[in-house]
Amino acid sequence: MSKKDINKTTVEIDINTIDLEELLIALGGVLYAGADIQEIDTPLLSRLEDLIIAEVLIRESGLIVAPTKGETMH
């Protein structure tokens, strides 16, 4: 899937393998560059939804491991 920035440059993202952090960074960069949310492909938004739901379930089940010394939980 692809998304476009204001310069009409296409960025390719493999939505089947991207993790939540990478997807958030990529989408944030595109939106920060001036793209409208309507320019983001629907399958990309669906993948974001799936990853967020999975993250919430992990956190609610207590499976998340506390960061080690020197690391920050985002």
State the first-to-last Cα distance of the chain, in angstroms, to the nearest integer.
Answer: 26
Q: Is the pLDDT of residue 6 over 90?
A: no
Q: What is the value of pTM for the model shown?
A: 0.67
* pLDDT tens-digit readout, 8-61: 667 677 889 999 999 999 999 999 999 999 999 999 999 999 999 999 999 999
Predicted pLDDT at 13: 76
Tokens 């958030």 belong to 24
C-alpha to C-alpha distance for 45 and 26, rounded to whole angstroms: 12
Q: Which amino acid is at 8?
A: K
Predicted pLDDT at 64: 66
C-alpha to C-alpha distance for 59 and 34, rounded to whole angstroms: 32
